[in-house]
Structure 1
Amino acid sequence: MPHPTSQAKPITRDDVARLAGVSPAVVSYVVNGGPRAVSPANEAKVRQAIRALGYRPNAAARALALGSSEMLAMIVPDAINPFYASLARAVENAAAERGYTLLLADSQDSLRTERRLIKNFAARRVDGLFLSSVLFEPDLMDLEQSDIPVVLLNHPADLATAGSPAVKKDGAGGRGPYAVGVAFREGARMAVEHLISHGHERIGLVIGGNADSELDAREVGWQQGIQAAGLTEGPIIRVPFTREGGYRAGQELLARSERPTAVFVSSDQQAAGLLCALHEGGLRLPEDLAVFSFDGAPESEYTWPRLSTVAQPLKDLAQGALNALLASGPGQEPHTKIFPAELVFRASCGCHTPAAYPTDYPLRHPTS
């Protein structure tokens, strides 16, 4: 009889192979889903042997053998924000296609939490990190010391200067992480120009902030659109990037004796809260106040009225970020990839029929 304190010998891949009557390589292909195909008959034998023996693959041993954890991490500032939830899903799908598992963490808009999460993922030796930071230039020292590549995802890279220590544009030399983002400034400017095309001459701004108080590219685009038309800027209301923040902005607009006739909002989530407050105040939308928001989150199509929005190309962002992360390494220069934004015209800006759409903007019809 074995000693009571002795442990049973762990079941190995070779044990499974012997019981199933196949090679250890075939067991590996079944367990890992490739890279080679396995006949249905052999796959059934392997799975039956796995169940009979109670085999559990050793992830730590596999990571040691491969020199890779096959895990990527992602930090977002608000995991329950529909935009970040959709972006995380797009990144997870793109990573899965390349054989990686994605670990998702929420910094909850806290710089302290973001730094703790970065240290945690660096200590766990993930193969790479996607970071949607609360800072324009986050502290990445822990990742650099661990030689873990990082991509700044959803980064307002169109505001970065060529000499920025955080981002180098278009393959410019120098140290720093990759950055992948959308044309925030250009998208905001196009949205303002569209509102102007509806006859609005006083356009306000509802915008969130960031931890380091850097100027938001969407605010710059809003200013540029108004200035190019020779108009006077409407009121600026600064609130958090939340529905509650948007609701407060709506209440502030309702309290004003002189309201703008249109407003550009920096996120769909803020705009949803804004619409709620304006409805409660008895305003007609878009007749009394037209609204154009930013992000293209799923909920933008289910507000009332449906939100006109500057949509971010989530699949392109996810694939671009993954390609940048996997390509980064010694000898690879960091660069910035900026994807164009797309205007989606719905009822909140005053577009009710396809005939009302201007012809000089990228166009996507409402899906209903």
Structure 2
Amino acid sequence: MTDSAARALRTTVTRKDVARYAGVSAAVVSYVVNAGPKNVSPATEARVRDAISVLGYRPNAAARALKLGSSRLLGLIVPDTRNPFFTELAHAVEEEASARGYAVLMTNSDGTMGKERTHIRNLAARQVDGVLLASNMFDPDLAELQAANIPAVLLNASREALGFATVGTDLRAGARAAVGHLIGHGHTSIALAMGSNVAGEVDGRELGWLDALSAAGLPEGPIVRSLFTRDGGYAAGKRLLASAASPTAVFASSDMQAVGILRALNEAGVAVPGEMAIVSFDGSTDAAYCWPPLSTVRQPVREMAAAAVSALVGLHDSAAPAHVVIPSTLVLRRSCGCP
């Protein structure tokens, strides 16, 4: 049979068509496509895969999901897909999920509770196998997932959540290390550019900033609060420049804020790090390509993604959910005054 004749058999190629072409049973085709449950000899598998290629057969994912009781689909909700940190985190999640045979449906909450709840509702309706949520809230509303018996893991979470697995890094420890490093450079007036969260609770990065100042016997520097964005950082930088406190260093709670602060300082002719040193938080790729390159607390993106996907898949079969904390790393570049 020629390739063109084979493709003309019918518009939608079925498993039976593949079986007929390869000279095997439909069950054998199923074993090859699903990698089991029974083994197939290498020669037979080669014939089946050749038939699949020639006929252009595509397994019906929805039908397989119904039969297997699994959609092989995970939902991912992040607060801002424009933020390189969350883009890199989503990419890492997708790679980890793919390695386990899952696809990922990503949604963006735009940092609002309303959109976050809408996405949770929609993912529950789609009967995904699980949801990874990087929430703007410390205690997000997951009642819809619980009602649908869909497991969830809180990603980029800094503390435990009753009844749910959580994966994140220690924000407080990372911030403490960053501010301590600035103190080591001799700075005694260190400002904080702090992003705002929906819940209005004190962020671990603010607590770490306070810890480091207190341990060194230094007074609190000025705090400027803004969005976790470049625009937010730019506005924060302009407010810092107008402040009577005149800090000589600033700890920014995200790389994106630090990028905005750098622009504000550059426009004002303030030298970095000579007149104002900066350390930020997240460790996104963008931090290395600013000028000067940003010293930053790097969150363990790949490790967090691997732990979160493993926990989510494992929640189908086991065990009480756990809180996984993966240490961050302080990456030193020019913006803090290091060579």
Q: TM-score, normalised by structure 1?
A: 0.84
CA distance in 2, matches of 1:33, 1:300: 43
After superposition, the C-alpha distances for 1:318-340 in whole angstroms (9 at most, x for unaligned) are 11111211222476222211111
Report the number of matched residues.
329
CA RMSD of superposed structures (Å)? 2.2
- Is 1:215 matched with 2:197? no
> Where does residue 307 of structure 1 map in the other structure?
294
CA distance in 2, matches of 1:40, 1:285: 66
Greater shift in the superposed pair: 261-270 or 249-258:
249-258
Matches within 5 A, 1:276-355: 276-329=263-316, 332-352=319-339
| Identity among equivalent pairs (%) | 52
CA distance in 1, matches of 2:129, 2:291: 43
Q: Identify if the C-alpha distance between structure 1 residues 101 and 19 changes in structure 2 by more than 3 Å, giving closer, same or farther.
A: same
Where structure 1 has 5 or more consecutive residues not aligned to the other structure, the ranges are 1-7, 161-166, 169-175, 353-368
Q: Identify if the C-alpha distance between structure 1 residues 67 and 260 changes in structure 2 by more than 3 Å, giving closer, same or farther.
A: same
- Is 1:232 matched with 2:219? yes
Q: Which of these residues, 237, 243, 254, is aligned with residue 250 of structure 1?
A: 237
Q: Which amino acid aligns with 1:230?
A: G
Matches within 5 A, 1:24-173: 24=26, 27-28=29-30, 31=33, 39=42, 42-43=45-46, 45-46=47-48, 49-50=51-52, 53-157=55-159, 167-168=161-162
**Cα offset for 1:11?**
3.8
**Cα offset for 1:24?**
3.9
Greater shift in the superposed pair: 253-262 or 142-151:
253-262
**Cα offset for 1:94?**
0.6
Contact 2:89–2:305 under 8 Å retained in 1: yes
After superposition, the C-alpha distances for 1:32-58 in whole angstroms (9 at most, x for unaligned) are 578979858954x44553465453321
CA distance in 2, matches of 1:33, 1:276: 54
CA distance in 2, matches of 1:21, 1:350: 71
CA distance in 2, matches of 1:30, 1:280: 62
**Cα offset for 1:110?**
1.4
- Is 1:272 matched with 2:272? no
Query: What secondary structure, in the 3-state scheme, does the structure 2 residue paired with 1:215 have?
Result: coil
**Cα offset for 1:219?**
0.4
Q: Identify if the C-alpha distance between structure 1 residues 54 and 329 changes in structure 2 by more than 3 Å, giving closer, same or farther.
A: closer
Where structure 2 has 5 or more consecutive residues not aligned to the other structure, the ranges are 1-9
CA distance in 1, matches of 2:283, 2:88: 10
Q: Identify if the C-alpha distance between structure 1 residues 99 and 38 changes in structure 2 by more than 3 Å, giving closer, same or farther.
A: farther
